[in-house]
Amino acid sequence: MDQFLFFFTISLIMGVLGRVYLMRVDYRQYPSYPRGVIMHLTFGIISAALGSIAIPALLAKDYAAVTFLTLAAEQFRSVRTMERENLSLIEDFELVPRGRSYIEEIAKIFEGRNYIVMLTSLTTSLMLYAFSNTYAAVMVGIIILVLLKYSMKGQRIEEIAKVRIGKVWFDGSLLCVDDVVIMNVGLKETKERILKTGIGVVLEPVDQNANITLANIGQRQAIIHDVVTQVGIKKDLDEPDFTPLARRNVNNGNVAFIFYPSIQSEEALLRAVRYAPVLESARRKPTESGAAYGKGGRR
């Protein structure tokens, strides 16, 4: 019994430390702190406990205890639902909303992190039983944690597109960034303010996959929200003309943005766009499909 308790304790500690390692509190505000941190750490402890109990329960021939692992799926789904609902509730109070695609992406990330915690605890416990070496089990647990974290790492915009500053100009009443028409602006005062505070950014996709990915509306909205969160925005509720927008050149796939950042720095703006995430739900690979390479896809 003491051996089983030892296995459980070491595995639980590894899982909890893994959840702390995976915790991120940054400009995207998921989780917010301190309440969000405490909540997610609690879920992490539960996930670690579920992963830690499996091997000791099997060794003790307590098969009923192993069935608690079936609760993991429901537990992790509740984490995803909780995060989705929390972000959706505050969406209406954002000057620039995240969009449903970005919210779902965040929710999936939190669900996945709990799977990582459970697998780290389970692997550590299994190694303890197989080799009876605490240091080896801990090292294997760390390796599994790092590998799983790396596997969840998504792409950034800079990996799929060239990001550069675009020229903001007016063709009569049409606001343009380079050769892309953004919107119609009628008031002279609004035009002057746009020319003074607006900064255009153009994304040039590196290939056809990136072209289709950047065409996704949810992806564009995620970029806009991410950028505004970092560099701010010069607008209030009753100023729709100064809402950041994105429009696509259908001929070459370039996507042009207009921003009104509080931090009037082109370099800061470009950096924020480059580091914006590529949403998993928006990623497309048409060059690997049957449509692009004939029946059967790429070979």
pLDDT for 299 = 42
- Burial zone of 159 (CB within 10 Å; 0-12 exposed, 13-18 middle, 19+ buried): exposed
> Model confidence over 14-52: pLDDT tens digits?
999 988 888 765 555 555 555 667 777 888 888 888 888
CA–CA gap between residue 96 and residue 246 (Å, rounded): 13
Q: Based on the fold, state whether residues 80 and 217 are members of the same structural domain.
A: no
Q: Based on the fold, state whether residues 6 and 55 are members of the same structural domain.
A: yes
* In-domain check, residue 70: yes
What is the average pLDDT value for the chain, to the nearest integer? 85
Q: Based on the fold, state whether residues 181 and 109 are members of the same structural domain.
A: no
Look at residues 130, 151, 172 and tell me which one is the last residue of a structural domain: 151
* In-domain check, residue 33: yes
How many residues in total does the chain contain? 299
Q: Based on the fold, state whether residues 11 and 136 are members of the same structural domain.
A: yes
Q: Based on the fold, state whether residues 145 and 7 are members of the same structural domain.
A: yes
Rounded to an integer, the average pLDDT of 3-14 is: 85
CA–CA gap between residue 55 and residue 125 (Å, rounded): 6
CA–CA gap between residue 217 and residue 196 (Å, rounded): 27
Domain count, the chain: 2
Residue 209: which domain range?
157-286
Helices and strands: H and E segment counts in the chain: 12, 7
Q: Based on the fold, state whether residues 120 and 13 are members of the same structural domain.
A: yes
Q: Based on the fold, state whether residues 277 and 170 are members of the same structural domain.
A: yes
* In-domain check, residue 293: no
Q: Based on the fold, state whether residues 196 and 272 are members of the same structural domain.
A: yes
Task: Tell me the β-bridge partners of 202.
Answer: 164, 256
Q: Based on the fold, state whether residues 129 and 30 are members of the same structural domain.
A: yes
Please give the order of strands across the beta sheet that includes 168-171. 168-171, 174-177, 180-184
* In-domain check, residue 291: no
Q: Residue 109 — pLDDT band, cuts 50, 70, 90?
A: confident
CA–CA gap between residue 284 and residue 287 (Å, rounded): 9
Q: What is the DSSP letter of 164?
A: E
CA–CA gap between residue 223 and residue 207 (Å, rounded): 19
Look at residues 122, 151, 180 and tell me which one is the last residue of a structural domain: 151
